[in-house]
C-alpha cells in the first residue's frame, strides 16, 4: 500500500491556536462539571498546549522531515489531549458527555485548520480517540476496541483512496495548468509575431479579451477596448454589404464563421486596415451561450496586393487607362443591360498615325512617354462623357455610354483629331503625330460587343485608307467590302496554289543608248471571274494573310527562269516587300534560285522600299550584307516618297535609286519644283556611284527633262507598257533598240488630288478615285479595261456632276474628257463646290473590275 505524501505546509500559522483551545476546553469542562482535572490529565493538557504553542509554519524538505514535524506538533499534542480527557473521565470524575464533546470539538477544529486532508485528519482523530478507547478496553469493553480498530482500518483505506484520488486529480490539474499555460505562451508568442490576434466577447457581444496586437495596430489603449461591442470596431465597404450581414447573422445565430473580410473603423486613418475574422460561439457546461471567441489576421497588404493585381488586370500599366479586358467587360455590360434604353452607346476606335516612326527614330522610352501624353489629352477631351482605354501599342478605344447624334460624334472626332495632332514636346524634342478614328454606334451598327467592335474596326480601316488623320462613321457597305476582302484572300490562296499569278515585264531603257537594259517584273492576277485585279488591291491582302513571302519567292524564281532565256545584258528587277525582306531565309532562298537557274547574280535586281529601315537595324544590315554577298543588285524604290534619309544611302549598299513617278508627273509644268528635285536626286546618285531610273515617263517633254537632268535609265509608257512574258520574249527577239512614242507635250496643268467619286453608267454605279483633275478632264483610277468611248456621268461632289467620255484606258486607270469645261477661280484652281464626296447606297456598290 502506498504511503501518502505529507503536505509540506500541513501545519499552518493558526495551528498554534489549538494550544489555547486545549486549556479553554479543559477549563470549560471543569467549570461545567464542577470538578478539577487529575494531575496526569493536567500535565497532559499543559504539554499538549506547549507543543501547540511551539508550532511554526515549517515547509518540509522531504518525507522524513514532514513526518517528524507532523508527529511532534500535530499527532503528539492531540494524543496528549486525548490522554488528558480520558484520564480525567476515568479517574477524575469528568462526565463522559463533557469529555466526548471536548474531544469532538478539538477534532473538528483541527479538521478546519488542516483543510480536510483525509489521511492527516484520520491520524489526528486516532490520536484523540485512542486513549479513550484504550481506557474502555482496559475496563473490559473489548468490543469498543475492536470496533475502533476496524473503523480505523476502514478509515485508513478510505483516506488512502481519497489521497490517491486527490493526488491524481492534482496531477491532472497541474497538467491542465501546464497545458493552459503553454497555450497561453504560444498565443502570446503568436501575437508577438504580428501575424494575428485573438478576441473574446460575452453573450452580449462585448469584448472581454482582445490581443495587445490589435490595440497597437489601431493605437488604442487596450483597456478602452474592453466592454465595447465587437462588431462596432469594423465597417464594410459598399460592395461588401453581404459580408457585413453575414457577420451579424452569425453573431445572432450563434454559429461559427471563417475568413470574413472587414475593414477597421478607426475613423481617422486614410489608409484602410483590413482584417480577416474567424469566430465560434462558446457555451458553458449547461449549454448556455457565453459569447464568441476567435482570431483575426491582418489582410491589409494582401488586399492591397490583390487590388494592385486587379488594377493591372483592368488598367493599362503605362497610361493608367482602362485596358482591353476592362473595356470589353464594360461594353458587354452596356449592351446586355436589362434596360434597353441604356444599351445605346458609341464606340470610337483610334489608331495613331506616324507613331511607329517616332518609336523607331527616338526609341521606345520616348514612344512610351508620347503614349502617356496622348492618354492625358484623350482624357481631357472626353472628360466625363465616357471611358478612354488603351488596347495596346498605339491603339485606343473610347466608349460613350449613351446615344449620340451623327453631328455630335463628328464634332467629337474632329476635336480628338485636332487635339492629338498638336505638337508634343518630350525631353526637348518636338514631334507631331496624327490619329485616324473609326466610329460605330450601338444598336444601329451592332447589338453585340463583337459586332460593334468589328464595325468600328472597319470604319477605322476606311479612315486610314482615306489618307489618315481622318474619321469615318461605319456604314453597312464596309461589311460588304470586308466580306469581299475575305473572299479575295481565299481566292488568292487558291491562285498561289494553282499558279494563277503572272509576271508582266515593263522595259527599263538606258537613257543614252535608248536600248533595253532590263525589265521590272510586275505581279499580275487574272481572276477567272473578275478578270485582271489590281495589285493595289490584292498585295495588301496577301500581306495581311501571310502569303506575301510565298508570292515573293515565286516571283523571284519565275523572273530568274525567264532571265535565263534572255540575253546576258538584260537584268530584271523584282520588288521585295518589307515582310519578305525581314525573312532571315531570304538570302539563302535567292542563292538557291540563282544556282538552280544558272544566271549571274548581278542580273537580278531587288527593289526595296524605305520602309525596311523602320525595323530592327541589326537584322536589316545583316540582310543587306548577305544579299550583297550573294551578288545581286539592290535598288531603293520610290525614293523621296517615304521616310527618306540620306543615312539610308550612306549605310545601305544600293546600286540604284528609283525616282517615283510622282516627281516625274507635272515636272514640265510652269512653276513645278519636281524638275529640281529630279536633278538633285540624279546628282546625288552620280556622286555616290549609283544608277537612277525615272518611273512613269509618258510624254516627250518629260523624256527630254529626264535626259537633261542626267537620269541613267527611264521607265514608262513613253517606251512601253508592261508586257506579258510572251510579249517580252517577242520584243527581245526584235532587238534591244527601242523608240519612244507618245504625246509631245504634257496636258493642261492639273491638280493632283485623291478624291472619291462615283461614276454612273446607265443603271450601274462605280466607286473610283480621281488622281488628278483639269478643267477639261481627269485621270480616274479604280476601273479596269474600260473601252474607249464609254460614257459616264462623274459625280465630283454632291452638288457637281459632269458628263464625260473615256479617251484611253491603261490597266486600272482611265482618262476622261468632260463635255463641258470646269471653271477656275482667281488663283487658277478648279472651282469645286465645297461638299463631301458622294456617299453611295448599298445597291450602288458594284465595282467594275474587268
Minimum mean pLDDT range among 187-196, 371-380, 605-614, 765-774: 187-196
Minimum mean pLDDT range among 218-232, 265-279, 435-449, 673-687: 265-279
The pLDDT value given to residue 263: 77
Distance, CA of 389 to CA of 456 (rounded, Å): 15
- Asked if pLDDT for residue 840 goes beyond 50, the answer is no
Distance, CA of 297 to CA of 262 (rounded, Å): 11
Q: Which residue has the higher pLDDT, 140 or 584?
A: 584
Three cell numbers, residue 637: 524604290
Q: What is the DSSP track for 604-654?
A: EEEEE-GGGGGS-HHHHHHHHHHHHHHT-EEEEEEETSSS--HHHHHHS--
- Asked if pLDDT for residue 752 goes beyond 70, the answer is yes
Domains and CATH numbers, the chain: 13-168 (no CATH), 197-304 (3.30.450.20), 339-474 (3.30.70.270), 503-522+546-734 (3.20.20.450), 751-844 (2.40.10.220)
**What is the per-residue pLDDT across 306-350, written as a single tens digit (0 to 9) for each?**
666 666 678 888 998 998 888 888 888 888 887 777 788 999 999
Distance, CA of 461 to CA of 450 (rounded, Å): 16
Would you say the C-alpha torsion 785, 790, 793, 797 has a positive or negative sign? positive
For the beta carbon of residue 784, count every other beta carbon within 10 angstroms. Answer: 19
The pLDDT value given to residue 838: 34
- Asked if pLDDT for residue 90 goes beyond 80, the answer is no
**What is the per-residue pLDDT across 706-734, written as a single tens digit (0 to 9) for each?**
999 999 999 999 999 999 999 999 999 99
Q: Which residue has the higher pLDDT, 726 or 67?
A: 726
The pLDDT value given to residue 340: 75
Q: What percent of the chain has pLDDT over 70?
A: 87
Distance, CA of 109 to CA of 20 (rounded, Å): 12
3-state secondary structure 496-514: HHHCCEEEEEEEEEECCCC
The pLDDT value given to residue 563: 95
**What is the per-residue pLDDT across 445-467, written as a single tens digit (0 to 9) for each?**
888 888 899 999 999 988 887 77
The pLDDT value given to residue 841: 34
Q: What is the pTM of this model?
A: 0.50
Distance, CA of 501 to CA of 725 (rounded, Å): 12
Q: What percent of the chain has pLDDT over 90?
A: 29
The pLDDT value given to residue 436: 94
Mean pLDDT to the nearest integer, 811-830: 79
- Listed as own residue / partner, the contacts of 88-97 with beta carbons closer than 8 Å and 24 or more positions apart are 88/26, 88/29, 88/37, 88/38, 88/41, 89/132, 89/135, 90/135, 90/139, 91/38, 91/40, 92/35, 92/36, 92/37, 92/38, 92/41, 93/33, 93/35, 94/29, 94/30, 94/33, 94/35, 94/37, 95/33
Q: Could you tell me the pLDDT band of residue 4, with boundaries at 50, 70 and 90?
A: very low
Mean pLDDT to the nearest integer, 215-231: 80
The pLDDT value given to residue 607: 94
**Mean pLDDT of all residues belonging to the chain:** 82
Mean pLDDT to the nearest integer, 419-431: 90
- Asked if pLDDT for residue 237 goes beyond 70, the answer is no
| Cβ 213 vs Cβ 194: under 8 Å | yes
- Asked if pLDDT for residue 241 goes beyond 50, the answer is no
The CA-CA-CA angle for residues 611, 615, 617, to 5°, reads 115
| Cα–Cα nearest to 806, from 821, 823, 820, 792 | 792
The pLDDT value given to residue 66: 64
- Asked if pLDDT for residue 848 goes beyond 80, the answer is no
| Cα–Cα nearest to 567, from 338, 728, 344, 389 | 728
| Cβ 222 vs Cβ 312: under 8 Å | no
For the beta carbon of residue 10, count every other beta carbon within 10 angstroms. Answer: 21
Mean pLDDT to the nearest integer, 366-379: 94
Mean pLDDT to the nearest integer, 139-152: 75
Minimum mean pLDDT range among 4-8, 29-33, 792-796, 810-814: 4-8
Contacts of residue 336, Cβ cutoff 8 Å, sequence gap at least 6: 343
Mean pLDDT to the nearest integer, 689-707: 92
Question: Which of the 8 DSSP states describes residue 546?
Answer: T
Mean pLDDT to the nearest integer, 512-534: 89
**What is the per-residue pLDDT across 7-33, written as a single tens digit (0 to 9) for each?**
434 567 777 787 788 888 888 888 887
Mean pLDDT to the nearest integer, 276-291: 88
**What is the per-residue pLDDT across 619-667, written as a single tens digit (0 to 9) for each?**
788 888 999 999 999 999 877 665 555 666 777 889 999 998 888 877 8
Distance, CA of 168 to CA of 88 (rounded, Å): 43
The pLDDT value given to residue 132: 74
C-alpha radius of gyration, the chain, whole number? 56
For helices 449-465 and 477-498, what crossing angle results, to 10°? 80
- Asked if pLDDT for residue 269 goes beyond 70, the answer is no
The pLDDT value given to residue 370: 94
| Cβ 483 vs Cβ 361: under 8 Å | no
Mean pLDDT to the nearest integer, 96-102: 81
Respond yes or no on whether the N-terminal peptide bond of residue 578 is cis (omega within 30° of 0).
no
| Cα–Cα nearest to 847, from 793, 786, 805 | 786
Q: Could you tell me the pLDDT band of residue 108, with boundaries at 50, 70 and 90?
A: confident
Amino acid at each position: 500500500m502506498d504511503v501518502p505524501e505529507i503536505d509540506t505546509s500541513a501545519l499552518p500559522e493558526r495551528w498554534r491556536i489549538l494550544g489555547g483551545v486545549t486549556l479553554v476546553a479543559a477549563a470549560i469542562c471543569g467549570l461545567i462539571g464542577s470538578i478539577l482535572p487529575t494531575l496526569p490529565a493536567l500535565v497532559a493538557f499543559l504539554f499538549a498546549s506547549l507543543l501547540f504553542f511551539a508550532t511554526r509554519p515549517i515547509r518540509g524538505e522531504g518525507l522524513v522531515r514532514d513526518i517528524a514535524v507532523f508527529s511532534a506538533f500535530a499527532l503528539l499534542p492531540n494524543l496528549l489531549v486525548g490522554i488528558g480527557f480520558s484520564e480525567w473521565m476515568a479517574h477524575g470524575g469528568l462526565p463522559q458527555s463533557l469529555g466526548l464533546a471536548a474531544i469532538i470539538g478539538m477534532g473538528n477544529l483541527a479538521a478546519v485548520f488542516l483543510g480536510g486532508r483525509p489521511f492527516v485528519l484520520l491520524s489526528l482523530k486516532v490520536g484523540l480517540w485512542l486513549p479513550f478507547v484504550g481506557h474502555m478496553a482496559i475496563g473490559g469493553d473489548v468490543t469498543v476496541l475492536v470496533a475502533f480498530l476496524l473503523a480505523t482500518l476502514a478509515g485508513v483505506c478510505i483516506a488512502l483512496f481519497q489521497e490517491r484520488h486527490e493526488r491524481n486529480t492534482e496531477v491532472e490539474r497541474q497538467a491542465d495548468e501546464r497545458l493552459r499555460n503553454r497555450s497561453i505562451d504560444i498565443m502570446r508568442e503568436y501575437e508577438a509575431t504580428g501575424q494575428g490576434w485573438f478576441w473574446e466577447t460575452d453573450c452580449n457581444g462585448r469584448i472581454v479579451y482582445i490581443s495587445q496586437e490589435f490595440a497597437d495596430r489601431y493605437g488604442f489603449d487596450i483597456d478602452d477596448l474592453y466592454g465595447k461591442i465587437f462588431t462596432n470596431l469594423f465597417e464594410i465597404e459598399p460592395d461588401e454589404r453581404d459580408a457585413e450581414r453575414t457577420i451579424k447573422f452569425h453573431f445572432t445565430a450563434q454559429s461559427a464563421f471563417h475568413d470574413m473580410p472587414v475593414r477597421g473603423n478607426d475613423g481617422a486613418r486614410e489608409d484602410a486596415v483590413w482584417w480577416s475574422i474567424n469566430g465560434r460561439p462558446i457555451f458553458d457546461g449547461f449549454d448556455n451561450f457565453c459569447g464568441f471567441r476567435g482570431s483575426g489576421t491582418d489582410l491589409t497588404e494582401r488586399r492591397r496586393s490583390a487590388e494592385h493585381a486587379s488594377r493591372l488586370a483592368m488598367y493599362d500599366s503605362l497610361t493608367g487607362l482602362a485596358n482591353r479586358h476592362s473595356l470589353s467587360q464594360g461594353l458587354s455590360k452596356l449592351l446586355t443591360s436589362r434596360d434597353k434604353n441604356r444599351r445605346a452607346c458609341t464606340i470610337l476606335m483610334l489608331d495613331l498615325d506616324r507613331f511607329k516612326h517616332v518609336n523607331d527614330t527616338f526609341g521606345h522610352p520616348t514612344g512610351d512617354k508620347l503614349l502617356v501624353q496622348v492618354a492625358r489629352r484623350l482624357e481631357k477631351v472626353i472628360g466625363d462623357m465616357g471611358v478612354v482605354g488603351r488596347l495596346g501599342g498605339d491603339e485606343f478605344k473610347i466608349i460613350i455610354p449613351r446615344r449620340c447624334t451623327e453631328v455630335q460624334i463628328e464634332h467629337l472626332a474632329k476635336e480628338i483629331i485636332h487635339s492629338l495632332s498638336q505638337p508634343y514636346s518630350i525631353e526637348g524634342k518636338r514631334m507631331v503625330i496624327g490619329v485616324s478614328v473609326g466610329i460605330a454606334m450601338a444598336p444601329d451598327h451592332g447589338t453585340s460587343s463583337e459586332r460593334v467592335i468589328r464595325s468600328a474596326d472597319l470604319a477605322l480601316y476606311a479612315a486610314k485608307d482615306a489618307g489618315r488623320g481622318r474619321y469615318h462613321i461605319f456604314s453597312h457597305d464596309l461589311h460588304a467590302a470586308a466580306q469581299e476582302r475575305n473572299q479575295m484572300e481565299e481566292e488568292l490562296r487558291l491562285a498561289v496554289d494553282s499558279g494563277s499569278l503572272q509576271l508582266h515585264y515593263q522595259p527599263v531603257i538606258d537613257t543614252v543608248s535608248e536600248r533595253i537594259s532590263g525589265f521590272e517584273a510586275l505581279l499580275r492576277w487574272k481572276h477567272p471571274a473578275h478578270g485582271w485585279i489590281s495589285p493595289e488591291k490584292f498585295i495588301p491582302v496577301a500581306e495581311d494573310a501571310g502569303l506575301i513571302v510565298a508570292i515573293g519567292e515565286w516571283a523571284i524564281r519565275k523572273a530568274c527562269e525567264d532571265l535565263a532565256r534572255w540575253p546576258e545584258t538584260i537584268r530584271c528587277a523584282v520588288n521585295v516587300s518589307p515582310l519578305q525582306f525581314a525573312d532571315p531565309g531570304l538570302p539563302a532562298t535567292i542563292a538557291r534560285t540563282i544556282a538552280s537557274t544558272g544566271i549571274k547574280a548581278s542580273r537580278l535586281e531587288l527593289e526595296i522600299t524605305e520602309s525596311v529601315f523602320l525595323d530592327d537595324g541589326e537584322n536589316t544590315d545583316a540582310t543587306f550584307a548577305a544579299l550583297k554577298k550573294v551578288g545581286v543588285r539592290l535598288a531603293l524604290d520610290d525614293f523621296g516618297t517615304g521616310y527618306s534619309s540620306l543615312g539610308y544611302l550612306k549605310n545601305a549598299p544600293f546600286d540604284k535609286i528609283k525616282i517615283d513617278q510622282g516627281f516625274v508627273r507635272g515636272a514640265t509644268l510652269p512653276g513645278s519644283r519636281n524638275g529640281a528635285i529630279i536633278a538633285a536626286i540624279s546628282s546625288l546618285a552620280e556622286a555616290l556611284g549609283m544608277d537612277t531610273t525615272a518611273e512613269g515617263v509618258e510624254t516627250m517633254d518629260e523624256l527630254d527633262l529626264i535626259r537633261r537632268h542626267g537620269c541613267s535609265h527611264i521607265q514608262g509608257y513613253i517606251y512601253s507598257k508592261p508586257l506579258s512574258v510572251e510579249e517580252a520574249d517577242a520584243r527581245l527577239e526584235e532587238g534591244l533598240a527601242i523608240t519612244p512614242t507618245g504625246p509631245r507635250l504634257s496636258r493642261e496643268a492639273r491638280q493632283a488630288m485623291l478624291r472619291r467619286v462615283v461614276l454612273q453608267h446607265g443603271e450601274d454605279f462605280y466607286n473610283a478615285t480621281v488622281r488628278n483633275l483639269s478643267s477639261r478632264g481627269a485621270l480616274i483610277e479604280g476601273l479596269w479595261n474600260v473601252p474607249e468611248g464609254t460614257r459616264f456621268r462623274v459625280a465630283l461632289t454632291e452638288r457637281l456632276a459632269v458628263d464625260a467620255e473615256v479617251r484611253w484606258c491603261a490597266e486600272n486607270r482611265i482618262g476622261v474628257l468632260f463635255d463641258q469645261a470646269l471653271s477656275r477661280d482667281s488663283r487658277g484652281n478648279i472651282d469645286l463646290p465645297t461638299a463631301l464626296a458622294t456617299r453611295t447606297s448599298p445597291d450602288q456598290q458594284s465595282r467594275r473590275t474587268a
